[in-house]
């Protein structure tokens, strides 16, 4: 991955190139972030096609909004904030909530599928903060920016989410790797 982040803030030169419409900078941004954003979106949406659509919407939102982005947070935080909102938009447009993914219907699930099922049982905000922290790797302050909450509130939410996940895994008999 390119060196887009310096000391927790957006790299000024790279940001200026993006804001000036430098095609090379946009290509670099897309190449570096699309796979990780897609992975995050795929964990939050029912199908790969939905994740691809949300990724396109996220990148379009970036094109439209980065010219006004002030660079006070890392570009990655900004992009995940956009993706987080696209996930919320998707579910808001949806009239009903999807019960379980097809993988949850498989009788003998292991590790990742069990974890995904447990995450799906959590309240949506708990699932989001856990994914942003452990799957995406954002810091607590970056997550706070993405979900528009205070640092302390986000820290508490993350702590509760971990407890909820632990309890859900315990109830499913997965607390010690089965």
Instruction: Work out the number of other CB atoms within 10 angstroms of the CB of residue 118.
Output: 21
Question: Is residue 162 located within the same domain as residue 129?
Answer: yes
Question: Is residue 94 located within the same domain as residue 25?
Answer: yes
Domain count, the chain: 2
Q: How much is the pTM? A: 0.60
| Mean pLDDT, rounded, for 69-97 | 83
Task: Compare 100 and 153 and report the one with higher pLDDT.
Answer: 153
pLDDT in tens, 139-151: 888 899 999 999 9
Predicted confidence at residue 111, as pLDDT, reads 61
Predicted confidence at residue 35, as pLDDT, reads 95
Question: Is residue 85 located within the same domain as residue 129?
Answer: no
Question: Is residue 52 located within the same domain as residue 75?
Answer: yes
Q: Does residue 3 register a pLDDT over 60?
A: no
Which three-class secondary structure state does DSSP give residue 10?
strand
| Mean pLDDT, rounded, for 150-171 | 89
Which strand (E) or helix (H) includes residue 9? Answer: strand 9-10
Question: Is residue 120 located within the same domain as residue 178?
Answer: yes
Question: Is residue 15 located within the same domain as residue 89?
Answer: yes
At 177, the pLDDT band (50, 70, 90 cuts) reads very low
Predicted confidence at residue 170, as pLDDT, reads 81
Question: What are the C-alpha distances in Å from 92 to residues 86, 87, 113, 140?
Answer: 10, 9, 25, 25
pLDDT in tens, 45-69: 989 999 999 999 999 999 999 888 8
């Amino acid at each position: 991955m390119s060196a887009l982040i310096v000391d927790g803030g957006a790299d000024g030169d790279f940001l200026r190139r993006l804001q000036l419409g430098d095609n090379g900078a946009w290509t670099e941004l897309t190449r570096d972030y699309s796979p990780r954003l897609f992975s995050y979106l795929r964990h939050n949406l029912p199908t790969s096609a939905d994740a691809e659509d949300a990724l396109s919407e996220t990148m379009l939102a970036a094109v439209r909004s980065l010219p006004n982005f002030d660079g006070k947070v890392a570009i990655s935080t900004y992009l995940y904030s956009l993706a987080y909102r696209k996930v919320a938009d998707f579910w808001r447009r949806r009239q009903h909530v999807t019960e379980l993914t097809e993988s949850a219907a498989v009788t003998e699930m292991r590790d990742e599928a069990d974890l995904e099922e447990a995450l799906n049982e959590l309240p949506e905000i708990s699932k989001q903060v856990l994914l942003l922290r452990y799957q995406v790797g954002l810091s607590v302050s970056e997550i706070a920016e993405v979900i528009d909450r205070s640092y302390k509130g986000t820290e508490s939410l993350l702590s509760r989410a971990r407890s909820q996940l632990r309890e859900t895994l315990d109830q499913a008999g997965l607390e010690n790797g089965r």
